[in-house]
Structure 1
Protein backbone atom coordinates (compact mmCIF):
# COMPACT_ATOMS: atom_id res chain seq x y z
CA UNK A 1 0.00 0.00 0.00
CA UNK A 2 1.40 3.37 -1.05
CA UNK A 3 1.12 6.36 1.25
CA UNK A 4 -0.38 8.78 -1.29
CA UNK A 5 -2.32 11.87 -0.24
CA UNK A 6 -5.58 12.69 -2.00
CA UNK A 7 -6.44 16.39 -2.30
CA UNK A 8 -9.79 17.55 -3.66
CA UNK A 9 -10.86 21.04 -4.70
CA UNK A 10 -14.18 22.04 -3.17
CA UNK A 11 -16.38 24.98 -4.14
CA UNK A 12 -19.16 24.90 -1.55
CA UNK A 13 -19.52 24.23 2.13
CA UNK A 14 -21.61 21.09 1.54
CA UNK A 15 -19.07 19.64 -0.90
CA UNK A 16 -16.31 20.34 1.61
CA UNK A 17 -18.10 18.51 4.40
CA UNK A 18 -18.83 15.59 2.09
CA UNK A 19 -15.17 15.40 0.98
CA UNK A 20 -14.01 15.21 4.59
CA UNK A 21 -16.68 12.65 5.43
CA UNK A 22 -15.89 10.41 2.47
CA UNK A 23 -12.13 10.24 3.05
CA UNK A 24 -10.36 13.04 1.19
CA UNK A 25 -7.06 13.80 2.95
CA UNK A 26 -6.83 17.54 2.24
CA UNK A 27 -9.12 20.24 0.85
CA UNK A 28 -8.27 22.94 -1.64
CA UNK A 29 -10.95 25.47 -0.72
CA UNK A 30 -12.15 27.66 -3.59
CA UNK A 31 -15.05 29.62 -4.98
CA UNK A 32 -16.28 29.74 -8.58
CA UNK A 33 -16.02 26.32 -10.20
CA UNK A 34 -16.54 27.74 -13.70
CA UNK A 35 -13.35 29.82 -13.39
CA UNK A 36 -11.27 26.98 -12.00
CA UNK A 37 -11.27 28.45 -8.50
CA UNK A 38 -11.01 31.87 -6.86
CA UNK A 39 -10.57 32.98 -3.25
CA UNK A 40 -13.37 31.57 -1.05
CA UNK A 41 -15.34 33.46 1.57
CA UNK A 42 -13.92 33.81 5.06
CA UNK A 43 -17.22 32.66 6.52
CA UNK A 44 -17.07 29.38 4.61
CA UNK A 45 -13.50 28.79 5.75
CA UNK A 46 -14.32 29.55 9.40
CA UNK A 47 -17.30 27.20 9.33
CA UNK A 48 -15.25 24.36 7.92
CA UNK A 49 -12.22 24.95 10.12
CA UNK A 50 -14.37 24.81 13.23
CA UNK A 51 -15.98 21.50 12.32
CA UNK A 52 -13.61 19.32 10.29
CA UNK A 53 -10.12 18.15 11.14
CA UNK A 54 -8.37 17.62 7.80
CA UNK A 55 -6.01 20.29 6.41
CA UNK A 56 -7.54 23.13 4.41
CA UNK A 57 -5.46 24.91 1.79
CA UNK A 58 -6.99 28.20 0.64
CA UNK A 59 -6.99 29.32 -2.98
CA UNK A 60 -5.66 32.88 -3.27
CA UNK A 61 -6.90 34.18 -6.60
CA UNK A 62 -8.74 37.50 -6.70
CA UNK A 63 -10.48 36.87 -10.03
CA UNK A 64 -10.80 34.44 -12.91
CA UNK A 65 -9.05 34.77 -16.22
CA UNK A 66 -5.28 34.99 -16.46
CA UNK A 67 -2.63 35.01 -13.73
CA UNK A 68 -1.01 38.35 -14.50
CA UNK A 69 -1.92 40.59 -11.58
CA UNK A 70 -1.69 44.31 -11.01
CA UNK A 71 -0.10 45.84 -7.91
CA UNK A 72 -3.58 46.42 -6.49
CA UNK A 73 -4.57 42.81 -7.05
CA UNK A 74 -1.38 41.62 -5.35
CA UNK A 75 -2.28 43.83 -2.39
CA UNK A 76 -5.63 42.05 -2.18
CA UNK A 77 -3.88 38.66 -2.29
CA UNK A 78 -1.44 39.68 0.44
CA UNK A 79 -4.31 40.83 2.66
CA UNK A 80 -6.29 37.64 1.98
CA UNK A 81 -3.32 35.49 3.00
CA UNK A 82 -2.88 37.54 6.17
CA UNK A 83 -6.56 37.16 7.08
CA UNK A 84 -6.80 33.41 6.38
CA UNK A 85 -3.48 32.87 8.15
CA UNK A 86 -4.87 34.50 11.28
CA UNK A 87 -7.90 32.20 11.07
CA UNK A 88 -5.82 29.01 10.94
CA UNK A 89 -5.32 28.18 7.25
CA UNK A 90 -3.08 25.14 6.83
CA UNK A 91 -1.67 26.26 3.50
CA UNK A 92 -2.22 28.38 0.42
CA UNK A 93 -2.56 27.89 -3.33
CA UNK A 94 -1.55 30.63 -5.76
CA UNK A 95 0.61 31.51 -8.75
CA UNK A 96 1.60 34.69 -10.55
CA UNK A 97 2.92 35.12 -14.09
CA UNK A 98 4.61 37.94 -15.97
CA UNK A 99 3.06 39.15 -19.22
CA UNK A 100 5.55 36.95 -21.12
CA UNK A 101 4.23 33.88 -19.30
CA UNK A 102 7.20 33.32 -17.02
CA UNK A 103 6.84 32.94 -13.25
CA UNK A 104 6.79 36.36 -11.58
CA UNK A 105 9.48 35.81 -8.98
CA UNK A 106 9.07 39.14 -7.22
CA UNK A 107 5.32 38.96 -6.75
CA UNK A 108 5.35 35.28 -5.79
CA UNK A 109 8.07 36.00 -3.25
CA UNK A 110 5.95 38.67 -1.62
CA UNK A 111 3.03 36.27 -1.25
CA UNK A 112 5.26 33.52 0.10
CA UNK A 113 6.74 35.89 2.67
CA UNK A 114 3.25 36.70 3.94
CA UNK A 115 2.42 32.97 4.16
CA UNK A 116 5.45 32.41 6.38
CA UNK A 117 6.13 28.74 7.09
CA UNK A 118 2.78 27.53 5.79
CA UNK A 119 2.82 25.03 2.94
CA UNK A 120 2.24 26.73 -0.43
CA UNK A 121 1.24 25.23 -3.77
CA UNK A 122 1.97 26.87 -7.13
CA UNK A 123 -1.22 26.05 -9.03
CA UNK A 124 -1.87 25.29 -12.69
CA UNK A 125 -0.69 28.70 -13.83
CA UNK A 126 2.47 26.58 -14.11
CA UNK A 127 0.92 24.80 -17.09
CA UNK A 128 0.55 28.15 -18.86
CA UNK A 129 4.26 29.01 -18.67
CA UNK A 130 6.38 28.79 -21.86
CA UNK A 131 9.13 26.55 -20.46
CA UNK A 132 8.07 24.02 -17.83
CA UNK A 133 11.61 23.05 -16.86
CA UNK A 134 12.65 26.66 -16.26
CA UNK A 135 9.42 27.32 -14.36
CA UNK A 136 10.09 24.24 -12.22
CA UNK A 137 13.51 25.58 -11.22
CA UNK A 138 12.11 29.08 -10.59
CA UNK A 139 9.38 27.74 -8.33
CA UNK A 140 11.82 25.55 -6.42
CA UNK A 141 14.12 28.55 -5.91
CA UNK A 142 11.21 30.55 -4.49
CA UNK A 143 10.49 27.95 -1.84
CA UNK A 144 7.09 26.59 -2.84
CA UNK A 145 6.32 23.16 -1.37
CA UNK A 146 4.53 21.71 -4.40
CA UNK A 147 3.35 22.32 -7.95
CA UNK A 148 -0.13 21.37 -9.13
CA UNK A 149 0.18 20.45 -12.80
CA UNK A 150 -1.28 18.48 -15.66
CA UNK A 151 2.04 18.57 -17.50
CA UNK A 152 1.27 21.63 -19.59
CA UNK A 153 -1.87 20.14 -21.14
CA UNK A 154 -5.58 20.24 -20.38
CA UNK A 155 -5.56 16.91 -18.56
CA UNK A 156 -3.23 14.53 -16.78
CA UNK A 157 -3.86 11.98 -19.52
CA UNK A 158 -2.60 14.36 -22.21
CA UNK A 159 0.32 15.60 -20.14
CA UNK A 160 1.45 12.25 -18.72
CA UNK A 161 4.84 12.20 -20.46
CA UNK A 162 5.68 15.69 -19.21
CA UNK A 163 4.45 14.83 -15.72
CA UNK A 164 6.77 11.86 -15.49
CA UNK A 165 9.72 13.99 -16.59
CA UNK A 166 8.86 16.75 -14.12
CA UNK A 167 8.62 14.34 -11.20
CA UNK A 168 11.99 12.82 -12.14
CA UNK A 169 13.63 16.25 -12.45
CA UNK A 170 12.13 17.51 -9.21
CA UNK A 171 13.40 14.53 -7.19
CA UNK A 172 12.94 15.41 -3.53
CA UNK A 173 13.27 19.17 -4.02
CA UNK A 174 9.54 19.81 -4.44
CA UNK A 175 6.35 17.78 -4.69
CA UNK A 176 4.87 17.45 -8.17
CA UNK A 177 1.14 16.90 -7.61
CA UNK A 178 -0.70 15.69 -10.73
CA UNK A 179 -4.07 17.38 -11.18
CA UNK A 180 -6.49 18.25 -13.94
CA UNK A 181 -8.74 15.41 -15.01
CA UNK A 182 -7.03 12.98 -12.63
CA UNK A 183 -8.54 9.51 -12.63
CA UNK A 184 -7.98 6.51 -10.35
CA UNK A 185 -6.30 4.62 -13.20
CA UNK A 186 -3.61 7.30 -13.38
CA UNK A 187 -2.31 6.20 -9.98
CA UNK A 188 -0.87 2.96 -11.36
CA UNK A 189 0.55 4.65 -14.47
CA UNK A 190 2.36 7.24 -12.39
CA UNK A 191 3.43 5.19 -9.39
CA UNK A 192 4.97 2.40 -11.45
CA UNK A 193 7.45 4.86 -12.98
CA UNK A 194 8.02 7.64 -10.45
CA UNK A 195 7.56 8.19 -6.69
CA UNK A 196 4.07 9.64 -6.42
CA UNK A 197 3.38 11.47 -3.14
CA UNK A 198 0.16 13.39 -3.74
CA UNK A 199 -2.59 13.59 -6.32
CA UNK A 200 -5.25 16.27 -6.87
CA UNK A 201 -8.66 15.14 -8.11
CA UNK A 202 -12.05 16.82 -8.16
CA UNK A 203 -13.90 13.56 -7.39
CA UNK A 204 -16.93 15.54 -8.45
CA UNK A 205 -20.50 14.78 -9.31
CA UNK A 206 -23.07 17.23 -10.59
CA UNK A 207 -26.28 17.32 -8.59
CA UNK A 208 -29.62 18.97 -9.34
CA UNK A 209 -30.67 21.76 -7.01
CA UNK A 210 -33.61 21.19 -4.70
CA UNK A 211 -35.54 24.36 -5.36
CA UNK A 212 -39.18 23.97 -6.42
CA UNK A 213 -39.77 27.35 -8.05
CA UNK A 214 -37.64 29.00 -10.75
CA UNK A 215 -38.39 31.97 -12.99
CA UNK A 216 -37.33 30.48 -16.32
CA UNK A 217 -37.21 33.92 -17.97
CA UNK A 218 -34.55 35.10 -15.50
CA UNK A 219 -30.83 34.29 -15.95
CA UNK A 220 -28.81 35.06 -12.82
CA UNK A 221 -26.42 32.12 -12.69
CA UNK A 222 -24.58 30.25 -15.43
CA UNK A 223 -25.78 26.95 -13.96
CA UNK A 224 -28.89 27.66 -11.87
CA UNK A 225 -30.16 24.09 -11.81
CA UNK A 226 -26.98 22.26 -10.81
CA UNK A 227 -24.28 22.26 -8.15
CA UNK A 228 -20.89 20.59 -7.90
CA UNK A 229 -20.63 18.02 -5.12
CA UNK A 230 -18.31 15.16 -4.17
CA UNK A 231 -18.80 11.58 -5.34
CA UNK A 232 -17.89 9.05 -2.61
CA UNK A 233 -17.52 6.28 -5.19
CA UNK A 234 -14.69 8.11 -6.97
CA UNK A 235 -12.90 8.69 -3.66
CA UNK A 236 -13.27 4.98 -2.91
CA UNK A 237 -11.78 4.14 -6.32
CA UNK A 238 -8.76 6.37 -5.63
CA UNK A 239 -8.20 4.79 -2.23
CA UNK A 240 -8.43 1.32 -3.78
CA UNK A 241 -5.88 2.35 -6.39
CA UNK A 242 -3.56 3.57 -3.60
CA UNK A 243 -3.83 0.19 -1.89
CA UNK A 244 -2.82 -1.65 -5.05
CA UNK A 245 0.45 0.13 -5.77
Structure 2
Protein backbone atom coordinates (compact mmCIF):
# COMPACT_ATOMS: atom_id res chain seq x y z
CA UNK A 1 0.00 0.00 0.00
CA UNK A 2 1.38 3.42 -0.99
CA UNK A 3 1.42 6.05 1.74
CA UNK A 4 0.85 9.77 1.24
CA UNK A 5 1.55 12.16 4.12
CA UNK A 6 -0.36 15.42 4.41
CA UNK A 7 2.51 17.76 5.32
CA UNK A 8 1.87 21.37 6.31
CA UNK A 9 5.45 22.45 6.91
CA UNK A 10 9.01 21.82 5.75
CA UNK A 11 9.67 19.90 8.96
CA UNK A 12 6.69 17.62 8.29
CA UNK A 13 7.81 17.00 4.71
CA UNK A 14 11.34 16.07 5.77
CA UNK A 15 9.98 13.78 8.49
CA UNK A 16 7.77 12.03 5.92
CA UNK A 17 10.66 11.43 3.55
CA UNK A 18 12.97 10.17 6.29
CA UNK A 19 10.25 7.88 7.70
CA UNK A 20 9.73 6.00 4.45
CA UNK A 21 6.52 7.53 3.10
CA UNK A 22 5.96 7.25 -0.65
CA UNK A 23 4.98 10.88 -1.28
CA UNK A 24 3.58 13.97 0.39
CA UNK A 25 0.68 16.31 -0.16
CA UNK A 26 2.02 19.74 0.77
CA UNK A 27 -0.35 22.38 2.11
CA UNK A 28 -0.59 25.23 4.60
CA UNK A 29 -3.13 25.92 7.36
CA UNK A 30 -4.21 22.33 7.87
CA UNK A 31 -6.54 23.36 10.70
CA UNK A 32 -8.60 25.27 8.09
CA UNK A 33 -8.73 22.24 5.80
CA UNK A 34 -5.55 23.24 3.97
CA UNK A 35 -4.75 25.97 1.45
CA UNK A 36 -2.02 26.40 -1.18
CA UNK A 37 1.45 26.79 0.40
CA UNK A 38 3.79 29.60 -0.55
CA UNK A 39 6.25 29.58 -3.44
CA UNK A 40 9.10 29.56 -0.95
CA UNK A 41 7.80 26.54 0.95
CA UNK A 42 7.18 24.53 -2.22
CA UNK A 43 10.63 25.36 -3.56
CA UNK A 44 12.42 24.35 -0.36
CA UNK A 45 10.46 21.11 0.04
CA UNK A 46 11.16 20.02 -3.55
CA UNK A 47 14.85 20.83 -3.05
CA UNK A 48 15.22 19.01 0.26
CA UNK A 49 13.28 15.76 -0.07
CA UNK A 50 13.61 12.97 -2.60
CA UNK A 51 10.04 11.62 -2.68
CA UNK A 52 7.30 12.98 -4.95
CA UNK A 53 5.72 16.27 -3.87
CA UNK A 54 2.04 16.88 -4.61
CA UNK A 55 0.72 20.36 -3.77
CA UNK A 56 -2.76 21.32 -2.63
CA UNK A 57 -4.22 23.95 -4.94
CA UNK A 58 -6.89 25.73 -2.91
CA UNK A 59 -6.79 29.55 -2.88
CA UNK A 60 -8.75 30.00 0.35
CA UNK A 61 -10.65 28.15 3.04
CA UNK A 62 -14.41 27.75 2.81
CA UNK A 63 -16.30 26.17 -0.05
CA UNK A 64 -15.03 24.71 -3.32
CA UNK A 65 -17.02 26.90 -5.71
CA UNK A 66 -14.74 29.51 -7.24
CA UNK A 67 -14.98 32.71 -9.22
CA UNK A 68 -13.29 33.12 -12.60
CA UNK A 69 -10.58 35.17 -10.89
CA UNK A 70 -9.95 32.46 -8.29
CA UNK A 71 -9.73 29.81 -10.99
CA UNK A 72 -7.09 31.86 -12.78
CA UNK A 73 -5.10 32.06 -9.53
CA UNK A 74 -5.37 28.28 -9.21
CA UNK A 75 -4.18 27.68 -12.77
CA UNK A 76 -1.24 30.01 -12.20
CA UNK A 77 -0.35 28.16 -8.99
CA UNK A 78 -0.49 24.85 -10.84
CA UNK A 79 1.90 26.15 -13.50
CA UNK A 80 4.22 27.34 -10.73
CA UNK A 81 4.23 23.83 -9.24
CA UNK A 82 5.22 22.37 -12.62
CA UNK A 83 8.07 24.88 -12.94
CA UNK A 84 9.33 23.98 -9.45
CA UNK A 85 9.43 20.26 -10.24
CA UNK A 86 6.39 18.99 -8.34
CA UNK A 87 5.06 15.59 -9.38
CA UNK A 88 1.39 16.31 -8.82
CA UNK A 89 -1.33 18.63 -7.62
CA UNK A 90 -4.42 18.08 -5.49
CA UNK A 91 -7.44 20.23 -6.33
CA UNK A 92 -10.98 20.33 -7.69
CA UNK A 93 -14.07 22.45 -8.16
CA UNK A 94 -17.72 21.97 -7.17
CA UNK A 95 -20.84 23.68 -8.44
CA UNK A 96 -23.15 25.49 -6.02
CA UNK A 97 -25.21 22.31 -5.61
CA UNK A 98 -21.97 20.47 -4.66
CA UNK A 99 -21.88 18.33 -7.79
CA UNK A 100 -18.56 18.08 -9.63
CA UNK A 101 -17.84 21.09 -11.86
CA UNK A 102 -16.42 19.02 -14.71
CA UNK A 103 -15.57 22.00 -16.92
CA UNK A 104 -13.65 23.96 -14.27
CA UNK A 105 -11.92 20.84 -12.94
CA UNK A 106 -10.90 19.79 -16.45
CA UNK A 107 -9.38 23.27 -16.88
CA UNK A 108 -7.21 22.70 -13.80
CA UNK A 109 -6.19 19.29 -15.11
CA UNK A 110 -5.21 20.85 -18.43
CA UNK A 111 -3.02 23.36 -16.57
CA UNK A 112 -1.40 20.45 -14.71
CA UNK A 113 -0.19 18.94 -17.97
CA UNK A 114 1.88 15.84 -17.24
CA UNK A 115 1.67 16.23 -13.45
CA UNK A 116 -0.61 13.81 -11.61
CA UNK A 117 -3.97 15.23 -10.57
CA UNK A 118 -5.88 14.16 -7.44
CA UNK A 119 -9.40 15.43 -6.73
CA UNK A 120 -9.41 16.48 -3.07
CA UNK A 121 -11.90 15.91 -0.26
CA UNK A 122 -14.35 18.38 -1.75
CA UNK A 123 -15.55 15.08 -3.22
CA UNK A 124 -17.05 14.29 0.20
CA UNK A 125 -19.59 17.10 -0.21
CA UNK A 126 -21.06 15.61 -3.39
CA UNK A 127 -24.64 14.37 -2.98
CA UNK A 128 -24.10 11.23 -5.10
CA UNK A 129 -20.55 9.92 -4.89
CA UNK A 130 -21.00 7.24 -7.54
CA UNK A 131 -22.13 9.93 -9.98
CA UNK A 132 -19.29 12.21 -8.85
CA UNK A 133 -16.71 9.48 -9.43
CA UNK A 134 -18.18 8.79 -12.87
CA UNK A 135 -17.85 12.47 -13.78
CA UNK A 136 -14.21 12.43 -12.70
CA UNK A 137 -13.49 9.35 -14.78
CA UNK A 138 -15.15 11.00 -17.78
CA UNK A 139 -12.71 13.95 -17.64
CA UNK A 140 -9.69 11.71 -17.16
CA UNK A 141 -9.08 12.12 -13.42
CA UNK A 142 -7.21 9.11 -12.03
CA UNK A 143 -7.39 9.58 -8.23
CA UNK A 144 -9.74 10.93 -5.59
CA UNK A 145 -9.07 11.54 -1.89
CA UNK A 146 -12.13 10.75 0.20
CA UNK A 147 -13.48 9.84 3.62
CA UNK A 148 -16.56 8.32 1.99
CA UNK A 149 -18.62 11.41 2.76
CA UNK A 150 -18.23 10.88 6.50
CA UNK A 151 -16.28 12.84 9.13
CA UNK A 152 -13.56 10.18 9.05
CA UNK A 153 -12.53 7.54 6.52
CA UNK A 154 -13.00 4.81 9.11
CA UNK A 155 -16.64 5.82 9.48
CA UNK A 156 -16.98 5.91 5.70
CA UNK A 157 -15.04 2.73 4.94
CA UNK A 158 -18.03 0.77 3.62
CA UNK A 159 -18.83 3.46 1.06
CA UNK A 160 -15.16 3.71 0.13
CA UNK A 161 -15.02 -0.04 -0.44
CA UNK A 162 -18.17 0.22 -2.59
CA UNK A 163 -16.61 2.93 -4.74
CA UNK A 164 -13.28 1.13 -4.96
CA UNK A 165 -14.91 -2.04 -6.24
CA UNK A 166 -16.86 -0.17 -8.92
CA UNK A 167 -14.03 2.07 -10.15
CA UNK A 168 -11.06 -0.18 -9.44
CA UNK A 169 -9.81 -0.11 -13.05
CA UNK A 170 -10.36 3.59 -13.77
CA UNK A 171 -10.07 5.62 -10.55
CA UNK A 172 -7.89 5.16 -7.47
CA UNK A 173 -9.96 5.67 -4.34
CA UNK A 174 -7.53 6.92 -1.68
CA UNK A 175 -8.96 6.92 1.88
CA UNK A 176 -8.07 9.96 3.96
CA UNK A 177 -9.40 11.70 7.05
CA UNK A 178 -8.83 10.51 10.60
CA UNK A 179 -6.48 7.67 9.62
CA UNK A 180 -4.41 6.60 12.63
CA UNK A 181 -2.41 3.70 14.01
CA UNK A 182 -5.53 2.02 15.38
CA UNK A 183 -7.52 1.92 12.15
CA UNK A 184 -5.00 1.97 9.28
CA UNK A 185 -4.85 -1.82 9.16
CA UNK A 186 -8.53 -2.02 8.21
CA UNK A 187 -7.82 -0.19 4.94
CA UNK A 188 -4.98 -2.54 4.02
CA UNK A 189 -7.21 -5.53 4.79
CA UNK A 190 -9.93 -4.03 2.57
CA UNK A 191 -7.51 -3.94 -0.37
CA UNK A 192 -7.00 -0.22 -0.90
CA UNK A 193 -3.90 0.59 -2.93
CA UNK A 194 -3.10 4.01 -1.40
CA UNK A 195 -3.79 5.81 1.86
CA UNK A 196 -3.47 9.40 3.10
CA UNK A 197 -2.75 10.59 6.64
CA UNK A 198 -0.90 13.32 8.51
CA UNK A 199 0.45 11.47 11.59
CA UNK A 200 0.30 14.83 13.35
CA UNK A 201 1.36 15.58 16.89
CA UNK A 202 0.85 18.81 18.78
CA UNK A 203 3.82 20.90 19.85
CA UNK A 204 3.58 23.76 22.32
CA UNK A 205 6.09 26.57 22.09
CA UNK A 206 8.00 27.66 25.20
CA UNK A 207 8.06 31.27 24.02
CA UNK A 208 6.42 34.02 26.04
CA UNK A 209 2.65 34.13 25.76
CA UNK A 210 1.57 36.94 23.41
CA UNK A 211 -0.44 39.86 24.73
CA UNK A 212 -3.29 39.14 22.30
CA UNK A 213 -4.27 36.14 20.21
CA UNK A 214 -4.91 36.18 16.46
CA UNK A 215 -6.53 32.75 16.54
CA UNK A 216 -10.31 32.16 16.66
CA UNK A 217 -11.46 30.79 20.00
CA UNK A 218 -12.46 27.52 18.30
CA UNK A 219 -8.82 26.84 17.30
CA UNK A 220 -5.67 26.20 19.39
CA UNK A 221 -3.88 29.27 20.69
CA UNK A 222 -0.87 31.02 19.14
CA UNK A 223 1.65 28.92 21.09
CA UNK A 224 0.41 25.63 19.61
CA UNK A 225 1.27 24.10 16.26
CA UNK A 226 1.18 20.67 14.66
CA UNK A 227 3.67 18.70 12.61
CA UNK A 228 3.88 15.19 11.13
CA UNK A 229 5.88 13.05 13.54
CA UNK A 230 8.67 10.90 12.05
CA UNK A 231 8.33 7.97 14.43
CA UNK A 232 4.56 7.91 14.09
CA UNK A 233 4.85 7.90 10.29
CA UNK A 234 7.36 5.03 10.49
CA UNK A 235 5.01 2.95 12.60
CA UNK A 236 2.05 3.57 10.30
CA UNK A 237 4.06 2.88 7.14
CA UNK A 238 5.27 -0.40 8.63
CA UNK A 239 1.70 -1.41 9.42
CA UNK A 240 0.70 -1.33 5.75
CA UNK A 241 3.86 -2.56 3.99
- Shared fold per TM-score greater than 0.5: yes
> Per-residue displacement from partner, 1:13-55 (whole Å, max 9, x unpaired)?
2222222222222110001112111000010111111121110
TM-score (structure 1 length as normaliser): 0.92
Aligned partner of 1:10 among 4, 7, 13: 7
Provide the C-alpha distance between the structure 1 equivalents of 2:29 and 2:108, rounded to a whole number of angstroms: 22
Aligned equivalent of 2:78: 81
Aligned equivalent of 1:196: 192
C-alpha displacement at 1:126, in angstroms? 0.4
Pairs within 5 Å for 1:63-142: 63-142=60-139
C-alpha displacement at 1:97, in angstroms? 0.2
Pairs within 5 Å for 1:1-245: 4-193=1-190, 195-211=191-207, 213-216=208-211, 218-222=212-216, 223-243=221-241
Provide the C-alpha distance between the structure 2 equivalents of 1:186 and 1:146, rounded to a whole number of angstroms: 22
Identify unmatched segments of 5+ residues in structure 1: none
Provide the C-alpha distance between the structure 1 equivalents of 2:150 and 2:8, rounded to a whole number of angstroms: 23
Provide the C-alpha distance between the structure 2 equivalents of 1:45 and 1:107, rounded to a whole number of angstroms: 24
Whether the 8 Å contact between 2:59 and 2:74 is mirrored in structure 1 is yes
Provide the C-alpha distance between the structure 1 equivalents of 2:182 and 2:66, rounded to a whole number of angstroms: 36
SS in 2 for 1:28: strand
> Per-residue displacement from partner, 1:163-214 (whole Å, max 9, x unpaired)?
1101101112111100000123434323333x32110011110111242x23
Whether the 8 Å contact between 2:209 and 2:223 is mirrored in structure 1 is no
Identify unmatched segments of 5+ residues in structure 2: none
Provide the C-alpha distance between the structure 1 equivalents of 2:188 and 2:224, rounded to a whole number of angstroms: 35
Provide the C-alpha distance between the structure 2 equivalents of 1:123 and 1:230, rounded to a whole number of angstroms: 19
Provide the C-alpha distance between the structure 2 equivalents of 1:8 and 1:206, rounded to a whole number of angstroms: 16
Give the aligned CA root-mean-square deviation in angstroms.
1.4
Whether the 8 Å contact between 1:185 and 1:241 is mirrored in structure 2 is no
TM-score (structure 2 length as normaliser): 0.94
Provide the C-alpha distance between the structure 2 equivalents of 1:100 and 1:156, rounded to a whole number of angstroms: 23
